[in-house]
Amino acid sequence: RKEVEQDPGPFNVPEGATVAFNCTYSNSASQSFFWYRQDCRKEPKLLMSVYSSGNEDGRFTAQLNRASQYISLLIRDSKLSDSATYLCAVNSYNNNDMRFGAGTRLTVKP
């Protein structure tokens, strides 16, 4: 079993739709959680960190559920420019390394 798992998608949604991604992790000692965005043939870029209390940045909301060991990303009012692959990342101070999910591909269509 992979340490960090994501639904690979693809998710194909119309503009304006709300879409949610989940990411599960297996290491209960994980301490830090992130969502990255990766455009085709580009490097991953930080979208947002995920805090225990949940956090929101404009149309994006990230949540953490430690009991069930998953993080989620909600995108409201999807834009064409949201089309990308979304990677979740989990870090453990015990392991001192970041583990990434394989990514969920999102395509927003007109």
Partner 1 sequence: DAEITQSPRHKITETGRQVTLACHQTWNHNNMFWYRQDLGHGLRLIHYSYGVQDTNKGEVSDGYSVSRSNTEDLPLTLESAASSQTSVYFCASSDLAGGDTQYFGPGTRLTVL
**What residue ranges bind partner 1 (CB under 8 A)?**
4, 31-32, 34, 41-46, 49, 87, 89, 91-93, 96-103
What span, in angstroms and rounded, lies between the C-alpha atoms of 84 and 87?
A: 10
Least distance in Å: CB of 21 to partner 1? Answer: 14
Q: Which residues pair with 44 in a beta bridge?
A: none
Least distance in Å: CB of 15 to partner 1? Answer: 27
Radius of gyration of the chain (CA): 13
User: How far is Cα of residue 27 from the mean position of the Cα atoms in its chain?
Assistant: 17
Report which of 42, 47, 50, 74 is spatially closest to residue 60, judged by C-alpha positions: 74
Task: Choose between 65 and 94: whose C-beta lies nearer to partner 1.
Answer: 94
Task: Choose between 80 and 98: whose C-beta lies nearer to partner 1.
Answer: 98
Task: Choose between 2 and 79: whose C-beta lies nearer to partner 1.
Answer: 2
Least distance in Å: CB of 24 to partner 1? Answer: 14
For residue 10, whether the previous peptide bond is cis, meaning omega lies within 30 degrees of 0, is yes
Task: Choose between 70 and 76: whose C-beta lies nearer to partner 1.
Answer: 70
